Structure 1
Amino acid sequence: MESTLKALRDGESVLDLSPRSTVSGGVEDIYGEDRATEDQLVIPWTVSVASGYSLLRDPQYNKGLAFTEKERDAHYLRGLLPPTVSTQQLQIYLLISMREKKLMNSIRQYQVPLQKYVAMMDLQERNERLFYKLLIDNVEELLPVKYGSIFRRPQGLYISLKERGKILEVLKNWPERSIQVIVLTDGEWILGLGDLGCQGMGIPVGKLASYTALGGCLPITMDVGTNNEKLLNDEFYIGLRQKRATGQEYYDLMHEFMTAVKQNYGENVLVQFEDFANHNAFELLAKYGTTHLVFNDDIQGTASVVLAGVVAALKLIGGTLPEHTFLFLGAGEAGTGIAELIALEMSKQTKAPIEETRKKIWLVDSKPVNSLLEAVKVIKPTVLIGSLGVGRTFTKEVVEAMTSNNDKPLIMALSNPTSQSECTAEEAYQWSEGRAIFASGSPFDPVEYKGKVYASGQHNIISDSFLVNSGQQCLNFPWLWFGFSNLRSNSTESLAKQVSEENYKNGLIYPPFSNIRKISANIAANVAAKAYKLGLATRLPRPQNLVKYAESCMYTATIGE
């Protein structure tokens, strides 16, 4: 014991290198699980207690100058920190003004997103709490920088065809045991980027950096190969160098994974499918929707937020939802998911069969993309939605045709990154002579046209955070995910109602993203209220104030005690 205390005082990590025997002869970890037989043991499972200098090097728990006097004594930090105990606000100030931490000023000077990314990743590796505090306080400015696109250290699990029959063991290699949310991708269809194979890890890592509040998150990339010849021929490619597995081989691997996830993390772990190609996305959602807690962001999340934008826009473009005609450029999982949800909502409002409401919706895919202008002229849509992932397809002629057919055309260019956006905000406003109602999936600066400033709502970051910020509460209200199909229209209405008159005057059909935490709390509360009314709620008794309860479940990046 004395040697252990001495090691702690010296700032060393204390490693328990003595495996405890079990009845079966294996090695027991601190959770009492039989991890491996002695002959299989290479590196023993250990207990690590970080203190002193080691604690200050741990990005997850380091609080810097915000360690209190009591904490400095308890964790042997005396002498390792200057005597000042700072508040969160002071640390943010120091972050901006002091030598090593002039980060925000530096970030604002960078023109290349990659530079901003590297600066933020350096901060995350030094002080994770401060990273999230900065992200939350500067959400509109920093969230468009997609975190996790470069391999610097393990931020998620890689599961490949090589791990067949061993996926449960692989899951147990992740250090955190209490996993509540898994974001899973196979990297096959990343909008605007295509097949990234194993390099798709940046997508789930980036998503979970946005979600923040969901304690116990695990990004996973399922590497089944890639059909991207450039990657296959790249000597630095880190994934399997083979064509993508398909058919039974693919689905057997996915089934082993889904079984292992539930076995390792329990019935209530949420698996979010991210950026799967059409032919797998709908199949996986249908197959596991009745047995697992699953969610497809591209099919369900995107659709909900787009519908909310359309509903909010009705106040500007006039008419009811069933009175409008929709033309989609892009018939992938995002486009078809949005189209189907709009048809369902029309059917709900008119009591007409969905087969009838689908006739108000037209989809054009990438093959006849050159006929988009002709389609606009013939169909005369009131709403044009792009989700193809091909840049500059909403040409000047297309926007002008939309404007000639409508006093205020609704144009939603949802593809990202910015280079793949169907058109820019400036193009939409100028080509429509300021008449278009515009929303995008990529960030655009406000546009001035003939003395008026137009701000465009960014659907993508609203989508990324709205559902899973609401999902922060979903983890406390698991029925929210089970009842998602029934309750989704309620969440959509709630989001649409939060667009203020001031937002409308500026051309916005989404509330500003700076209010996302308030927006999320209200959405979660409204959906929860509906769930209680329908008898779907399992958390009893019902909290007296659902909004306050939702807010209490949200992540707060405190860096003081």
Structure 2
Amino acid sequence: MNRPARVVAQSTSSDSPQGMTLLRDPLLNKGTAFTEAEREALGLRGLLPPCVLTMETQAQRVLTNLRTLPTDLEKYVALNALHDRNEALFFRVVVDNIDEIQPIIYTPTVGLACQKFGLIFQRPRGMFISSRDRGQIAEILKNWPYSAKLIVVTDGERILGLGDLGANGMGIPVGKLSLYSACAGVHPEACLPIVLDVGTNNEELLNDPYYLGLRERRLTGEAYDSFVDEFMQAARKTFPGVLIQFEDFANHSAFKLLHKYRDEACVFNDDIQGTAAVALAGLFSALRVNGGKLKDQKILFLGAGEAATGIADLVVSAMMAEGASEAEALRRNWLVDSRGLVVGGREGLSGHKLRYAHTGQAPISDFLTAIKTLKPTAIIGVAAVGGAFTPEVLEAMAELNEQPIVFALSNPTSKAECSAEDAYRYTKGRALFACGSPYDPVTLNGRSFVPRQGNNSYIFPGVGLGVIASGSKLVTDEMFMAAAHTLANCVGKEDLAQGSLYPALPRIREVSVRIAAAVADVAYQRGLADGPAPNDVKALVQSQMYEPHY
């Protein structure tokens, strides 16, 4: 996967892209880096300034311009324009400056970009399949010019913590797939972002003159189910063996779709399974600091949707692997939703919450009281309720625990449960902290803390690469468990000493290789892979990675 699927020959053969056609193809365009010989052979003389620049000079020019822009949204737009005209240069800039660029092309900036999608729209990327296309989806997918190995698809109903953004949600699949290529080397040509536009119930968008999606109420019920099923069948037929990642579907759709397709198709839901793996890896790292065992922890979740129950399910499996019974493990995981503590007998509980609706506990309406009553060792925020981890909450956790585990995982930043500075300040520097949005280092009482994001980008790129490299027919929970252990093992003692529960982001390609190899190992061991296991799984993974260069 380290070479482009289409190669520009240095000839004038009729089947080679030439002239302006070549310059307008982002997968092949090199801009001012085309050599004198290439310009002569490919009909580019006069179409470019005479100076030939190296890729390194081009990249530095991009960064120089980028750093003069006053807002992150303007930087997002500039990078998006680069992506549209020169894929290799775009990914070179991202790979070499991942700490600086990832927060721009993904969280937290991508949330605002989705909200402003119609206003900042430049060129279409990916595919928009609407409910008006029912009965024709297979034909429409044939319009995609490349052979997709990986699809990230959303219906835009629950974009990050921002809610229903309809077709504006396209920014999420585009951003996710950019990270697949940058963080794990999945070739851009293998990646297909898709929005299933089934309408929106967002009144603001319905009245927005720049909104580019269907101006209709959301499709629901059997009509929605049959539409998604048509898409699933068509996608698998058009792109045999394709890996499909469900992204930012609302709870009621996310669980249903995952359960419907996970045993018959190569699919996963990053909000449920990817979030679970990265959170579990963070817990493993935190326990290396305080010396505890996972099976002895009591975890209280603020949130009871896809992320919370996904994390809880994987934590339960990990606790059981340490010797706890299922009943014991379940009892150590509690959920708080908008109505308070999830307990047995409460009316109106949806299916995914029932597993954690414990009996014998009186209802509790607020999070702080739940902490004082249950005495958790860890709190995990995944409800997108900004500021919910108040000073009182953090102080209560510090009173109960010598080193409280505090994960404020919601994003974008406006939805974060607390800032890194507050987490450390109100626990007197004792919190083992992870965040969903980036924060600068914090200095408290002469000690410097370096918080790191519990970002799914540590997990899903490597999982996807491992699945693609092995040709796995399914994506299993065992693969996410392997990914969590591998990620935790990538965290060094130096990281832990400065409060970092995840490895430094510039190591992400190394981390993704290790995760991909672990995932592929599971596929081979379980008979899910396409063919026998190679002698060196890691070498197989690395051989398929895309490197952005000319």
Identical counterparts, % of pairs: 47
- The SS at the match of 1:143 is helix
| Alpha carbons 2:274, 2:480 under 8 Å: kept | no
- Quote the offset at 1:409 in angstroms: 0.6
- Quote the offset at 1:65 in angstroms: 3.9
Aligned to 1:546: 537
State yes or no: 1:107 paired with 2:46.
no
State yes or no: 1:489 paired with 2:481.
yes
What is the one-letter code of the residue matched to 1:280?
A: S
What is the one-letter code of the residue matched to 2:144?
A: W
Q: Among residues 246, 250, 256, which one is paired with 1:283 in the alignment?
A: 256
- The SS at the match of 1:459 is coil
Q: After superposition, what is the alpha-carbon deviation per residue over 1:293-352, rounded to whole angstroms, capped at 9, x for unaligned?
A: 111001111101110110111011221001000000011111111011101111122151
- Quote the offset at 1:232 in angstroms: 2.2
What is the one-letter code of the residue matched to 1:240?
A: L
Q: After superposition, what is the alpha-carbon deviation per residue over 1:172-217, rounded to whole angstroms, capped at 9, x for unaligned?
A: 22232x0111111111112210111121111111111211233321
- Quote the offset at 1:85 in angstroms: 5.0
What is the one-letter code of the residue matched to 1:246?
A: T
The two structures, once aligned, show a CA RMSD in angstroms of 2.4
- Quote the offset at 1:389 in angstroms: 0.9
Q: Among residues 467, 472, 493, which one is paired with 2:465 in the alignment?
A: 472
| Alpha carbons 1:408, 1:435 under 8 Å: kept | yes
Aligned to 1:270: 243
Aligned to 2:202: 228
Q: After superposition, what is the alpha-carbon deviation per residue over 1:499-524, rounded to whole angstroms, capped at 9, x for unaligned?
A: 00110111011111110000111122
After superposition, the Cα gap between the structure-2 partners of 1:238 and 1:526, relative to the gap in structure 1 and judged at 3 Å, is closer
| Alpha carbons 2:423, 2:431 under 8 Å: kept | yes
| Alpha carbons 2:409, 2:437 under 8 Å: kept | yes
| Alpha carbons 2:459, 2:483 under 8 Å: kept | no
- Quote the offset at 1:530 in angstroms: 4.4
State yes or no: 1:450 paired with 2:419.
no
Q: What TM-score do the two structures reach when normalised by structure 1?
A: 0.85
Q: Which moved more, 1:411-420 or 1:232-241?
A: 232-241
- How does 1:368-383 map onto structure 2 within 5 Å? 368=340, 371-383=366-378
What is the one-letter code of the residue matched to 2:413?
A: T
Aligned to 1:19: none
- How does 1:1-12 map onto structure 2 within 5 Å? none
| Alpha carbons 1:210, 1:465 under 8 Å: kept | no
**More relative contact order in 1 or in 2 (CA 8 Å, sep 6+)?**
2
- The SS at the match of 1:475 is helix
Aligned to 1:407: 402
State yes or no: 1:55 paired with 2:19.
no
Q: Among residues 294, 299, 307, which one is paired with 1:334 in the alignment?
A: 307
Q: Among residues 148, 158, 161, which one is paired with 2:131 in the alignment?
A: 161
- Quote the offset at 1:404 in angstroms: 0.5
Q: Among residues 192, 200, 204, which one is paired with 2:169 in the alignment?
A: 200
| Alpha carbons 2:442, 2:448 under 8 Å: kept | yes
| Alpha carbons 1:211, 1:465 under 8 Å: kept | no
Structure 1's unaligned 5+ residue stretches are 1-7, 15-47, 96-102
What is the one-letter code of the residue matched to 2:302?
A: L
- The SS at the match of 1:271 is strand
CA distance in 2, matches of 1:534, 1:188: 35
Q: Which moved more, 1:248-257 or 1:111-120?
A: 111-120
Aligned to 1:190: 159
Q: What TM-score do the two structures reach when normalised by structure 2?
A: 0.86
- The SS at the match of 2:443 is strand
- How does 1:494-509 map onto structure 2 within 5 Å? 494-509=486-501
- The SS at the match of 2:223 is helix
- The SS at the match of 1:144 is helix
- How does 1:65-214 map onto structure 2 within 5 Å? 65-81=32-48, 86-93=53-60, 95=61, 103-145=62-104, 146=106, 149=114, 150=117, 151-176=121-146, 178-212=147-181, 213-214=185-186
After superposition, the Cα gap between the structure-2 partners of 1:77 and 1:319, relative to the gap in structure 1 and judged at 3 Å, is same
Whichever of the two has the greater Rg, that structure is: 1
After superposition, the Cα gap between the structure-2 partners of 1:337 and 1:374, relative to the gap in structure 1 and judged at 3 Å, is same
Aligned to 1:344: 317
- Quote the offset at 1:71 in angstroms: 3.0
After superposition, the Cα gap between the structure-2 partners of 1:380 and 1:351, relative to the gap in structure 1 and judged at 3 Å, is closer
Q: Which moved more, 1:219-228 or 1:390-399?
A: 219-228
- The SS at the match of 1:350 is coil
- The SS at the match of 1:58 is coil
State yes or no: 1:436 paired with 2:409.
no
Aligned to 1:31: none
Aligned to 2:336: 364
Aligned to 2:269: 296
- The SS at the match of 1:518 is helix
Q: Among residues 516, 521, 537, which one is paired with 1:524 in the alignment?
A: 516
Aligned to 2:380: 385
CA distance in 1, matches of 2:151, 2:24: 27
What is the one-letter code of the residue matched to 1:290?
A: D
- The SS at the match of 1:476 is helix
| Alpha carbons 1:299, 1:333 under 8 Å: kept | yes
**How many residue pairs align between the two structures?**
502
- The SS at the match of 1:245 is coil
- Quote the offset at 1:134 in angstroms: 0.3
- The SS at the match of 2:322 is helix
- Quote the offset at 1:290 in angstroms: 2.0
What is the one-letter code of the residue matched to 1:141?
A: E
What is the one-letter code of the residue matched to 1:104?
A: L
- Quote the offset at 1:111 in angstroms: 4.6
CA distance in 1, matches of 2:49, 2:166: 47
CA distance in 1, matches of 2:506, 2:89: 18
What is the one-letter code of the residue matched to 2:548?
A: A
After superposition, the Cα gap between the structure-2 partners of 1:122 and 1:319, relative to the gap in structure 1 and judged at 3 Å, is same
After superposition, the Cα gap between the structure-2 partners of 1:83 and 1:114, relative to the gap in structure 1 and judged at 3 Å, is closer
- Quote the offset at 1:165 in angstroms: 1.0
CA distance in 2, matches of 1:74, 1:307: 54
Q: After superposition, what is the alpha-carbon deviation per residue over 1:35-76, rounded to whole angstroms, capped at 9, x for unaligned?
A: xxxxxxxxxxxxx85312432343321113433454334313
What is the one-letter code of the residue matched to 2:77?
A: V
CA distance in 1, matches of 2:57, 2:101: 20
State yes or no: 1:258 paired with 2:232.
yes
CA distance in 2, matches of 1:421, 1:360: 24
After superposition, the Cα gap between the structure-2 partners of 1:273 and 1:530, relative to the gap in structure 1 and judged at 3 Å, is closer
Q: After superposition, what is the alpha-carbon deviation per residue over 1:336-380, rounded to whole angstroms, capped at 9, x for unaligned?
A: 11011101111122151x233110011001233961111111111
Q: Which moved more, 1:413-422 or 1:236-245?
A: 236-245
Q: After superposition, what is the alpha-carbon deviation per residue over 1:4-31, rounded to whole angstroms, capped at 9, x for unaligned?
A: xxxx9xx9998xxxxxxxxxxxxxxxxx
- Quote the offset at 1:485 in angstroms: 2.0
CA distance in 2, matches of 1:351, 1:326: 15
CA distance in 2, matches of 1:86, 1:531: 44
Aligned to 1:27: none
Q: Which moved more, 1:377-386 or 1:239-248?
A: 239-248
- The SS at the match of 1:283 is helix
CA distance in 2, matches of 1:293, 1:529: 16
